[in-house]
Amino acid sequence: MFFAVQFHFLLLKNIQIMKIIHTIKELRQWRQSVQSVAFVPTMGNLHAGHLALVQRAQSEAEHVVVSIFVNRLQFGQGEDFDRYPRTLEQDAAKLRDVGVAVLFAPDERELYPNVAQNYQVEPPHLQNELCGAFRPNHFRGVATVVCKLFNIVQADTACFGKKDYQQLAIIRGMVDDLNMPIKIVPVDTGRADDGLALSSRNQYLSATERAEAPRMFQQLQWLAEQVRGGNHDYVALEQAAAAELTAHGWQVDYVEIREAGSLNVARLGDKNLVVLAAARLGTTRLIDNLEFQAA
């Protein structure tokens, strides 16, 4: 009994030691006091997918830092920056429960002290393809804020979800090209029981839309199965998957098969492939992808 009570006390003690830091100065002071650090950047409104990133980060380093910052630079005109869910208190409780060392939650002036970010990270042509073709400057905003956060946190490792596949590719390229001393760890997409990729934006879906939403992943699975079965007419497969979504009320931005490593347009002979899709269901824009091997 004594040992059970003692263990419970230690568990509670560990849960309660999470620091919430709002300034760069305090975070840098804390960073100097510890050894290995893994980092999970987020925009908050945390769900099970984010917590899976935290769990992976905990296997990579002694301490985990999670940031919560809704980054204005990656939202375009008419997008949901103002209504993006901000749930810091609930998020902090979730992170405390899973043993995160530090929650870094800066306000906008702290991260962008000059208001305008005059120096930005400019990704290559990939930023204008796929999601970038429909969200101008989005990946410039992502790369800029991630670069800033990497410089602030000085982590050894950073974990990113594969759901944002294009984002992951751009971050990896930035780290390689700029010789950043940080290892990028990709983490598989978290999914609901019906296959829908977990996303903070799923809460915008009506009940009817939520019931329809798994169709996107089903179409990705269908397309991958067709390719594995020997169908190499990629354009026709992309068009068929997009048409199926459209027939069920989706507004499709794209369905595309790409080479998984480079995200170049897939060619016959490429073995490691990924099919990516983005479409609106009602007012909610959903994205998903599926990696697979060609026949």
Q: Is 50 a catalytic residue?
A: yes
pLDDT at 10: 38
Q: Which two tokens stand for residue 189?
A: 């997409």
CA distance 239 to 221: 15
pLDDT value of residue 125? 97
- Spell out a b/e string for 13-37, using b for 16 or more CB atoms within 10 Å of the CB, else e: eeeeebeebeebeebeebbeeeeeb
Binding residues: 43-50, 74, 161-164, 167, 190, 198-201
Give the residue extent of every domain in the chain.
Answer: 2-187, 200-293
Q: Per the annotation, where are the binding residues for beta-alanine?
A: 74
Helical pair 215-228 and 234-247, crossing angle rounded to 10 deg: 160
Give, in degrees to the nearest 5, the angle at Cα 175 between 172 and 179. 145
Q: Provide the annotated binding site for (R)-pantoate.
A: 74, 167
pLDDT in tens, the chain (295 residues): 434 434 343 344 344 489 999 999 999 999 999 999 999 999 999 999 999 999 999 999 999 999 999 999 999 888 889 989 999 999 999 999 999 999 999 999 999 998 788 999 999 999 999 999 999 999 999 999 999 999 999 999 999 999 999 999 999 999 999 999 999 999 999 999 999 999 999 999 999 999 999 999 999 999 999 999 999 999 999 999 999 999 999 999 999 999 999 999 999 999 999 999 999 999 999 999 999 999 8
Task: Compute the half-sphere exposure of residue 21: CA atoms within 13 Å on the CB side of its CA.
Answer: 23
CATH T-level fold of 200-293: Pantoate--beta-alanine Ligase; Chain: A,domain 2 (3.30.1300)
User: Which pLDDT score, from 0 to 100, does residue 152 have?
Assistant: 98
288 near 197, Cβ under 8 Å?
A: yes
At 87 the pLDDT is 96
37 strand-pairing partners: 63
Q: pLDDT at position 102, please?
A: 98
pLDDT of residue 17: 84
Fold classified for 2-187: Rossmann fold (3.40.50)
Q: Catalytic residue among 22, 50, 63, 138, which?
A: 50
Give the alpha-carbon dihedral of 263, 271, 193, 243, to 10 degrees. Answer: 70
